[in-house]
Chains A and B, each alone.
Chain A
Amino acid sequence: MAVASTPRNPTAGPLTRARRWAAGFRERDTWWAYGFLLPWLFGFVVFTAGPMVASAVLSFTDYSVISTTHNVGLANYRSIASDPYVLKSLKNTLFMTAMWVPADMAFSLLLASMLARIDRLGGFFRTVFYLPVLTPTVGVGILYLLLFNGSYGLIDRALAIIHVSGPFWQTDPTWIKPSLVIMLLWQVGTNVVLYLAAIKNVPQQLYEAAAIDGASAWRRFKDVTLPMISPTLFFTFIILTISGIQLFDQVYTAFYNPSSQGTSTDASLLAVIYLFQQAFVYFHMGFASALAWMLFGLIMVVTVVQIVVSRRFVYYEGAAK
């Protein structure tokens, strides 16, 4: 591997940086690197960047695939502001995300903490917790219909054992979103594995020092474990939030597939489902593109806020303060 001999100068201007970049092509390794990157770059341009640029352009048109396309300026974006279903779907999406993200993180952390204490059979339980992640999301949607049946579902039968009468999860608008969140907890396996790895990485001497100082188990968890795994928590927080805003498969399968149209309801209308309907059921591709960009903007804003706020809570070992 050839190493650039010139020292890096962070204050170098764009022209200098461009020259240095071009100079890299004198090295054989640079060519190899770009050669290996080529398939990915091609895929990125064709399947991600290209469609993104196209959808940005389409969001200013009334494109419907079939009819003649006209430039409509900002009309699609104005329609977003006046369409009551956009607001409804956004409220539902944010409400579900606000419920799901902390619930998922707390549940995953609980399971990971328990797994960290198990020596024997640890591998077995890790596999058990991870297996649901392999279940297709469409399958989870179908499973939801069976488990959360308001009279004869497994959840209600279990509740009946402790003399609790379960609600009608799928028909009562108040319970639709909470029941969907509970269903999503079925697939916490990935976060459990991440948290477990982070917990195992916490230096043991920190716990020993805390124990010598008389810290209780709770204090050790709160003041040692949580700060030390905070980068992982932060990472999952961002990923889950983005996933929450993009939720689609499970909810669509449960409430919007042709055979379950009897239960589709305003309470289960999520932003991406509404986007999908506009694009592929009503063929309002221009409007759907504008919706996609609005969601992209929303995700960007939320993520930036999370990053800014996180600076106060996330501890990076060895990071300069």
Chain B
Amino acid sequence: MRDRWKRLGSLAAAMALVAVVATSAASAHPTGGTAAKAGTLNIMGFGTNGDDVAMSRYAIAARAVAPDTVAAPNGGFNDQAFLAALASGNAPDLVYMDRAKIGTYAAKGALMPLTSCIKSQKINTKQYWPAALDSVTYKKQVYGIPEFMSVRAIIADWPVLKANGVTLADLNTRHPAKLRAAATKMFEGSGGKVSRIGFDPKLPEFFPLWAKIYGVDILSANGLVPHLNDKRAVAALSYAVSLINAQGGYGPFLSFRNTWDFFGADNQVQKQQVGAWPMEDWYVNVLAGSSPGVQTLLVPTRDLHGRVVNYTSGSAWAIPKGAKNVADACKWAKTMTATSTWVAAAKNRITIRTAKGQKFTGLRTGNAVADKAIRKLYTKINPWFDQNVTVLQNLLQHSFSIPASPASAEFQTAWTNAVNRVLQGQQTPKQALDQAQAEAVAAIKAAK
């Protein structure tokens, strides 16, 4: 009997040990095992493996919060990790995420409004581009400090244009018929196979841009009212899809596009596999590195009235509810996006690139004052890249973004799927966007 109790005791002790070990493991900090403590700034979504611009600013911001230390595990922002951290009561002090997500997290009460942060750190919100600030503003409260600014323009492969008698004026989105004619002129393909795309409207990703060109924002400024089935959005989608249909149809078009060596030396511009297409500005940097000899020119996108429109997006710093070191978080966000920090990062990049024999193609940030200062640092590369950089800098003031929405993911899924259904011939643009509108309205209603 005594032995039995001994054995029972041993078994219970073993179980307790396993339970203790497991509980300790489960309660470990989900962002890398560093328990949140005073004097440490825990950051999620921004690590120490960034490029030179990220790292030089990191060093400046780390000095700003010193003597406190920074815990910033590598890896981009991950929704699941963020949710797990919030659920376990171990919210990071600061998160770095896509601006498109800010509205959703703000609506769910996961982020703090930055009103007191902006006030206490004397952050000048007027220095940020209005489009960037709009995308982090939900119900008139700012929930994020804008960081990078992604700019979109039409990249034209000049040798292709020249060989086909197409001018830059033909790529003006103000004149849709002219653009379609230019696209078919540059297009090459036969027997159901495409060998060169004349003009790629970049669907579904750039549908918001096409809608804007046709005169409508797909979401109201307050992020609560979708305009997906507005007749101008329907016309925009019909036109953008017609561009693809005029160049072999979606199947051959996409199959060919998927073969491009997008980041390599044999990219589609180098191999003259495309005439022109709208693209984010970072691709100019890619081309400058992978094939510096290409002759590209940039064309701004314009609406049907001829006004320049720039579809922009980017990242932001936000402070989650439950953050323990709000003061440092706020100081960090301010420093990372300050004009002096951006200029220092640009100068550092120029030094690094010069040492490697590479060129500096500028930086586009969420800070308008910083952009102006960085522009002065630019030195000429060649007429092609010089034109590219000038166009990109001039686009910033014409920026628009998709406003912060309480259901940004559902909203994006709704219009992305709608565009795909049209591309795959399952629905007409009107049918698809009517469905998307109904889905977006329901999602926003449920989320707000």
Contact call B252/A151, Cβ cutoff below 8 A:
yes
Contact call A66/B423, Cβ cutoff below 8 A:
no
Q: Cβ of B386 < 8 Å from any Cβ of A?
A: no
Residues on the B chain within 8 Å of A208, using CB: none
User: What per-residue 1/0 map shows which CB atoms of B1-39 lie under 8 Å from chain A?
Assistant: 000100110010011001100100000000000000000
Distance (whole angstroms) from the CB of A32 to the closest CB of chain B: 10
- Could you tell me the distance between the alpha carbons of A150 and B250 in the complex, rounded to whole angstroms? 11
Residues on the A chain within 8 Å of B256, using CB: 151-152
Contact call A283/B108, Cβ cutoff below 8 A:
yes
Q: Cβ of B258 < 8 Å from any Cβ of A?
A: yes
User: What per-residue 1/0 map shows which CB atoms of A260-291 lie under 8 Å from chain B?
Assistant: 01111111000000000100111100000000
Contact call B255/A152, Cβ cutoff below 8 A:
yes
Task: Indicate the member of A66, A261, A264 with the most B CB atoms within 10 Å.
Answer: A66
Residues on the A chain within 8 Å of B205, using CB: 261-262
Please name the residue on chain A nearest to B446 by beta carbon: A284
Distance (whole angstroms) from the CB of A290 to the closest CB of chain B: 15
Contact call A171/B108, Cβ cutoff below 8 A:
no
Q: Cβ of A71 < 8 Å from any Cβ of B?
A: no
Report which of A64, A67, A165, A171 forms a contact with B254, defined as CB distance below 8 A: A171
6 A–B contacts, CB within 8 A, in A order: A38-B11, A67-B108, A150-B252, A151-B193, A262-B203, A265-B417
Interface residues on A, range: 35 or more
Contact call A150/B18, Cβ cutoff below 8 A:
no
Residues on the A chain within 8 Å of B407, using CB: 282
Contact call B417/A38, Cβ cutoff below 8 A:
no
Q: Besides A261-B416, A264-B416, 18 other CB < 8 A contacts?
A: A26-B4, A35-B11, A38-B11, A38-B14, A42-B22, A65-B83, A65-B87, A66-B108, A145-B258, A151-B193, A168-B255, A171-B251, A172-B251, A172-B424, A263-B420, A266-B417, A283-B79, A283-B83
Contact call B203/A168, Cβ cutoff below 8 A:
no
Contact call B409/A171, Cβ cutoff below 8 A:
no
- Could you tell me the distance between the alpha carbons of A261 and B250 in the complex, rounded to whole angstroms? 15
Contact call B108/A64, Cβ cutoff below 8 A:
yes
Q: Cβ of B204 < 8 Å from any Cβ of A?
A: yes
Residues on the B chain within 8 Å of A42, using CB: 15, 18-19, 22
Contact call B421/A25, Cβ cutoff below 8 A:
no
Residues of chain A touching chain B, judged by Cβ–Cβ distance below 8 Å, are: 25-26, 28, 31, 34-35, 38-39, 42, 46, 64-67, 145, 149-153, 165, 168, 170-173, 261-267, 277, 280-283
Task: Indicate the member of A170, A171, A267, A280 with the most B CB atoms within 10 Å.
Answer: A171
Report which of B8, B87, B194, B424 forms a contact with A265, defined as CB distance below 8 A: B424
- Could you tell me the distance between the alpha carbons of A151 and B409 in the complex, rounded to whole angstroms? 32
Contact residues of B between 170 and 219, Cβ < 8 Å to A? 192-194, 203-205
Contact call B251/A149, Cβ cutoff below 8 A:
no
- Could you tell me the distance between the alpha carbons of A66 and B47 in the complex, rounded to whole angstroms? 24
Please name the residue on chain B nearest to A278 by beta carbon: B410
Distance (whole angstroms) from the CB of A54 to the closest CB of chain B: 12
Task: Indicate the member of A39, A262, A280 with the most B CB atoms within 10 Å.
Answer: A262
Contact call B204/A262, Cβ cutoff below 8 A:
yes
Distance (whole angstroms) from the CB of A24 to the closest CB of chain B: 12
Q: Cβ of B413 < 8 Å from any Cβ of A?
A: yes
Q: With A42-B18, A66-B110 as known contacts, state yes or no: A277 contacts B255, CB within 8 Å.
A: no
Please name the residue on chain A nearest to B22 by beta carbon: A46
Q: With A65-B87, A66-B108, A66-B109 as known contacts, state yes or no: A280 contacts B255, CB within 8 Å.
A: no
Q: Cβ of B86 < 8 Å from any Cβ of A?
A: yes
Task: Indicate the member of B80, B105, B256, B258 with the most A CB atoms within 10 Å.
Answer: B258
- Could you tell me the distance between the alpha carbons of A150 and B255 in the complex, rounded to whole angstroms? 5
- Could you tell me the distance between the alpha carbons of A280 and B83 in the complex, rounded to whole angstroms? 9
10 closest Cβ pairs, A-B complex: A168-B251, A150-B255, A151-B255, A66-B108, A66-B110, A65-B83, A171-B251, A151-B193, A152-B259, A31-B7
